[in-house]
């Protein structure tokens, strides 16, 4: 069964091009280590909720846009093995490809697929 890593972050609107470039550098690395798909999405129709929403989840500021991304893996085992290898890869070091957003406010998690 497939496995998905999901990410939500607040990116300064002025950093859209830098974010896209960051994502273009990261996607091939994920795929090299076994990801079957990498999806990056720039907020376009993200509503503000009354109790909770994506903006609150990442403490987005007025000048920030919410991005939603995911990486699909063949299985949790494949993902776990890949992350271990990626964390040892110098291309993943913060200095090699700095994040154009505040990574401390990014939320992420791993999700097991549901057969439909």
pLDDT of residue 92: 87
- DSSP, res 91: G
The number of C-alpha atoms within 13 Å of 25 and in the hemisphere containing its C-beta is 15
User: How many other β-carbons are positioned within 10 Å of the β-carbon of residue 43?
Assistant: 17
User: In terms of pTM, does the model score above 0.85?
Assistant: yes
CATH number for the domain that contains residue 23: 3.30.70.100
pLDDT-above-70 percentage for the chain: 100
User: How many other β-carbons are positioned within 10 Å of the β-carbon of residue 98?
Assistant: 11
Note the pLDDT tens digit of each residue in 53-96.
999 999 999 999 999 999 999 999 999 999 999 999 999 887 88
pLDDT-above-90 percentage for the chain: 89
For residue 26, what are the domain limits? 3-112
Note the pLDDT tens digit of each residue in 24-37.
999 999 999 999 99
Question: Taking a C-beta distance cutoff of 8 angstroms, is the pair 17, 116 a contact?
Answer: no
Q: Using CA atoms, how far apart are residues 93 and 25, in angstroms rounded to an integer? A: 12
Domain total in the chain? 1
């Amino acid at each position: 069964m497939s496995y998905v890593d999901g990410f939500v972050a607040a990116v300064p609107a002025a950093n859209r091009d830098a974010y896209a470039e960051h994502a273009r550098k990261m996607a091939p690395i994920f795929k090299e280590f076994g990801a079957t798909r990498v999806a990056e999405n720039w907020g376009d129709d993200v509503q503000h909720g009354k109790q909770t929403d994506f903006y609150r989840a990442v403490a987005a500021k007025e000048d920030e846009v919410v991005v939603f991304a995911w990486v699909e893996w063949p299985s949790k085992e494949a993902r776990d093995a890949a992350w271990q290898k990626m964390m040892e890869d110098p291309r993943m070091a913060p200095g090699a490809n700095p994040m154009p957003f505040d990574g401390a406010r990014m939320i992420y998690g791993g999700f097991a697929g549901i057969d439909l």
